Structure 1
Amino acid sequence: MSNNEIPSLQKDGRSIISNHRNISGIITDLKLLFKANVLIANVLPVFAGFWLALHFTNASLSTNMDVLLLTIFGSTMVIAGALALNNWYDVDIDTVMDRTKSRPTVTGNISLKVVLTMGISLTGLGFILLLFTTFEASLYAFVGWFTYCFPYTMWSKRKYTFNTIIGSISGAVTPLIGWTAIAPGFQKIPIILFLILFIFQMPHTFAIAVKKYKEYKAAGVAMLPVVRGLAVTKRQMVLYIACLFPLPFFLAPLGVIFMVIATLLNIGWLVVSISGFFTKNDLKWAHVNFLYSVNYITIIFLMMIIVTLPIFNR
């Protein structure tokens, strides 16, 4: 190898590294734009609703695989579209908050015009896919998308503490999307799934708001602990968690194992929440509550799927 070839190889090596970093940066930006953790977390309730509808209507997964794919991809696109539009609209407050300063809408890595286009395009594609399942599934997806984008993001989030209630509606329709792709939604099981997700999101969001109290206050976001204080927030958390207690018993068809595990999880969360009245470290307590809530909802919906597997129903 001649000396003249060495700089060329070094240049190519730097180019490869640079391209790798560019690709990695783009992936990171997209994860932040679409709030990857939130997006993935919404897929489980959609699938759980779909799965339970199959179970209770004695339908086959194999014969409905096309409907499942349309439901999962369609709902994921609609949710991604809503999250992108949320980032597009909230760029001013995201600039203030440390937890959101890395979003591509703030850094400028992705222009606001592109984000707006992506949000609208993904939403439209998602609705088209869902319309190939049932109109009712598309309707619930629209309720979630509309509620999140307009009454929550563009109206109540910055003005009123009940923004959490409005935001919880959009997050709670996900199992209804999955269920109604197979069966009508006005039935006990899907309604209870909606209520579990709706009520869960209240103390879950309050825990986040306590953790990020200073950031929300600096950004002027009307979260409950910022406007009403920690004492009121703690009382409301206990109240909402207590409201979860009767719900597993309305899901008796899922069996005793599910009801026992769900009840134990409710008791555990209530204990964690009540401990907030005696703690000297509110940030640590809020973090524990947040972690518990994430694991709580994951276990609850995974258990719904597990207890209805064929192996448990022979």
Structure 2
Amino acid sequence: MIIQAQGLRKTFTTRSRKGTQTVEAVRGVDLEVAQGEIFGVLGPNGAGKTTTIRMLSTLIAPDAGRATIAGHDLLKEPAAVRRKLGYVSQAGGVEDTTSARAQIMMAAKIHSVADPKQATAEVLERFDLTEMADRPGRTLSGGQKRRVAIAIGLVHNPPLLFLDEPTTGLDPQNRANLWDRIRQLREAGTSVLLSTHYLDEADALCDRLMIVDHGEVVAEGTPGELKREVSGDVITLRVDDPERAADTLKPYARETRVDEDLLRVYVDDGEHTLPALLRVLEEQGLGLSSIALDRSTLDDVFLAKTGRSLRDTGAAS
């Protein structure tokens, strides 16, 4: 494992005119990341994703817990840990007034790369940035800036890369392009720890992931395993009196959940179960205004584990 962490905790204390407030950002997180895999940390804004990554990347110290990163102790050998990783924050860290080439070369020198000029040229070519390498950061598009930020994080060729919300603010085309770049990193043997609040991103990119909420891990596994754990299919009904409808349909379902005015019915075989559900609702005089049949999603996993939809937090897409 390139990352092994147990019991990571972090509490922040803020002071204002209203007094002192304590926030438990991370509450005992355990995680393991294998060599050469993309591991995702999925959750709403404020769930503790960024704090977890900042602890593992030595930017802030945990209040409790321990971790080994690329064979080095997080607390005892922070300098050695930093040499083994690249880090790209949510903001990206690309300066507006300096060229991409100059910024990447500066990172190479900071990491004591033997030939900074050659390393810079190679990473610029790797991310298709050579033609724009000498333009100031302010002239680059959002997608180009993200690629420059990742190039800065990879110029010293670390075995591990941390990406904190890497596609936030990108349009669909640039998101898809960056997804391809991240997959290429895995194919080249780089391990990636990725935080995101996008359901489709976690599903498409991650070999394994953990779902976090309020600083705690609520589920962990491959996207497929997590979705199968919830159920094979989910039938979403907009129905009169969803609470009564849920009780009525329980004999036909693995699980039922009321989400405001929607009723979600989790079944093994939605295609064959649906006609029976509709017949029972009609017999019970429960009016139906809409119906949808879908495979379980990571949002269904989040709902099953936390009692609310990740989409309802305003963080997912």
Higher helix share: 1
TM-score, length basis structure 1: 0.28
Higher strand share: 2
TM-score, length basis structure 2: 0.27
